[in-house]
């Protein structure tokens, strides 16, 4: 039985992971839970899964959490703050850590888990995008497995099983096209937060759903694929596939193409990341291609969605630039969700921030370089959008 520490337990990835654990009690058990600030749901999860260690990232909620689980026996170790999340990530009894934390906030806990020798089910792409140059050597050094839980990367990983090292020619990332795929480009300037949060196929958290609407999610996944599979940017292509049935494909040296198919259900890549290399029986609805009817494909529209090209450019620049791109995106998306900026300000702010980043962009940055680039880019976006920067009159 695999023992799991789950980071981000009350979010979309967290609750879907717990659904898997609930239905496969002979395969998985929860030893650690960490969440942001949702005390009520975390307390309920503690009662149900009886972890040995828990953490709430918002330290102001610690006493509320302790009160909410005062009658739970046996009491878990209860911690707070980023330090607490890191303790859950490296907890001795865990075999695998599921990283469901949103954004670059997942970087330090993930590094702590790798250094403690844990396998990682990676549901936090920002960690690898910002921290790739630091995270990859650590994975080598500690000999752990980094198992992708992102649906596209899980698909590529599944297709790669049995492919010899030099057999891969290209990666073909599929994209649903996001909330505005059928909206004329002229109308993008007027879309609201509520519009952007309506994803046509996938049920996911708020940040990633906005990233899907701008197609930055696909751009970030290009960088993620580069780090995970060691493919050059020229070998990674994006194809729009509105049905989200093919989760991605690989093209081999002989032009043969392998694809992984399934319903758009995040539990499937999560389960494979947890069960790898085994295949576990589930009672989920099997894919019915007759019911799907047709699978269609089209070119991505780079005029309408500049974020993809921004991500390719940042990936090719290397060093800290992917961290700058990622941080600018996180900050811009947060401002959009707070209704402080417009939808089209998101790519504009990211491009402006990447253009202004001229710091010594070393090809092998340290963790401190990456954290500093992340901090700088967030501040850059905040400064560019502060009221004093807006045109007068």
Contact stretch for Mg ion (CB under 5 A) within 38-46, 144-152, 171-179, 326-334:
144-152
Contact stretch for Mg ion (CB under 5 A) within 31-39, 146-154, 246-254, 297-305:
146-154
Binding mask 50-79 for Mg ion (x = CB under 5 A): ------------------------------
Q: If binding is defined by CB under 5 A, does position 211 make contact with Mg ion?
A: no
Q: Which of 365, 378, 247, 272 is nearest to 317 (CA)?
A: 365
Q: If binding is defined by CB under 5 A, does position 150 make contact with Mg ion?
A: yes
Binding mask 152-191 for Mg ion (x = CB under 5 A): x---------------------------------------
In this structure, what token pair is assigned to residue 121? 């089910």
Counting beta carbons within 10 angstroms of the beta carbon of residue 281, is it exposed (0 to 12), middle (13 to 18) or buried (19 or more)? exposed
Provide the sign of the torsion angle of the four alpha carbons 338, 342, 348, 352, taken in this order: negative
- Nearer of residues 150 and 380 to Mg ion, judged by Cβ: 150
Q: How many CA atoms lie within 13 A of 244 on its CB side?
A: 18
- Nearer of residues 300 and 319 to Mg ion, judged by Cβ: 300
Smallest gap from residue 151 Cβ to Mg ion (A): 5
Smallest gap from residue 224 Cβ to Mg ion (A): 8
- Nearer of residues 84 and 106 to Mg ion, judged by Cβ: 106
- Nearer of residues 151 and 331 to Mg ion, judged by Cβ: 151
- Nearer of residues 119 and 152 to Mg ion, judged by Cβ: 152
In this structure, what token pair is assigned to residue 177? 């096209």
**Is the bond preceding residue 277 a cis peptide, omega within 30 degrees?**
yes
Smallest gap from residue 24 Cβ to Mg ion (A): 23
Smallest gap from residue 229 Cβ to Mg ion (A): 14
Q: How many CA atoms lie within 13 A of 249 on its CB side?
A: 19
Q: Which of 297, 235, 272 is nearest to 155 (CA)?
A: 272
Calpha distance 130→148 (Å, rounded): 16
- Is the separation of the CB atoms in 193 and 98 below 8 Å? no
Distances from the Cα of 234 to the Cαs of 32, 268, 363, in angstroms? 40, 29, 18
- Nearer of residues 157 and 376 to Mg ion, judged by Cβ: 157
- Nearer of residues 126 and 369 to Mg ion, judged by Cβ: 126
Smallest gap from residue 221 Cβ to Mg ion (A): 6
Binding site residues, Mg ion, CB under 5 A: 150-152
């Amino acid at each position: 039985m695999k023992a799991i520490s789950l980071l981000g337990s009350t979010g979309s990835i967290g609750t879907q992971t717990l659904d898997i654990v609930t239905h496969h009690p002979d395969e998985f058990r929860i030893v650690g839970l960490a969440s942001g600030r949702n005390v009520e749901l975390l307390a309920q999860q503690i009662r149900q899964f009886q972890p040995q260690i828990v953490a709430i990232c918002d330290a102001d909620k610690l006493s509320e959490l302790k009160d909410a689980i005062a009658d739970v026996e046996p009491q878990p170790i209860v911690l707070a703050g980023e330090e607490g999340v890191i303790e859950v990530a490296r907890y001795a009894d865990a075999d695998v850590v599921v990283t469901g934390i949103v954004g670059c906030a997942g970087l330090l806990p993930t590094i702590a888990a790798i250094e403690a020798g844990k396998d990682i089910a990676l549901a936090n792409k920002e960690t690898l995008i910002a921290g790739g140059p630091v995270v990859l050597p650590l994975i080598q050094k500690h000999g752990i497995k980094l198992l992708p839980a992102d649906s596209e990367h899980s698909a590529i990983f599944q297709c790669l099983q049995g492919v010899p090292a030099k057999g891969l020619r290209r990666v073909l990332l599929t994209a649903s096209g996001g909330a505005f795929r059928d909206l004329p480009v002229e109308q993008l300037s007027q879309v609201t937060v509520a519009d952007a949060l309506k994803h046509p196929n996938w049920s996911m958290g708020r940040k990633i759903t906005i990233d899907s609407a701008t197609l930055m999610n696909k751009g970030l996944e290009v960088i993620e694929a580069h780090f995970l599979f060691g493919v050059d940017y020229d070998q990674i292509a994006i194809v729009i596939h509105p049905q989200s049935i093919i989760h991605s494909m690989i093209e081999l040296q002989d032009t043969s193409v392998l694809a992984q198919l399934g319903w758009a259900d995040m539990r499937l890549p999560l389960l494979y990341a947890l069960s790898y290399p085994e295949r576990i029986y589930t009672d989920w609805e099997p894919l019915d291609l007759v019911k799907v009817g047709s699978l269609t494909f089209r070119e991505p529209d780079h005029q309408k969605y500049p974020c993809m090209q921004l991500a390719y450019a940042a990936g090719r620049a290397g060093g800290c630039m992917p961290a700058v791109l990622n941080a600018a995106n996180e900050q811009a998306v947060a401002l959009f969700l707070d209704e402080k900026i417009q939808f089209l300000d998101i790519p504009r702010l990211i491009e402006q921030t990447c253009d202004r980043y001229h710091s010594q962009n070393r090809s092998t940055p340290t963790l401190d370089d990456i954290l500093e680039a992340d901090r700088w880019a967030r501040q850059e976006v905040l400064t560019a959008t502060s009221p004093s920067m807006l045109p007068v009159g």
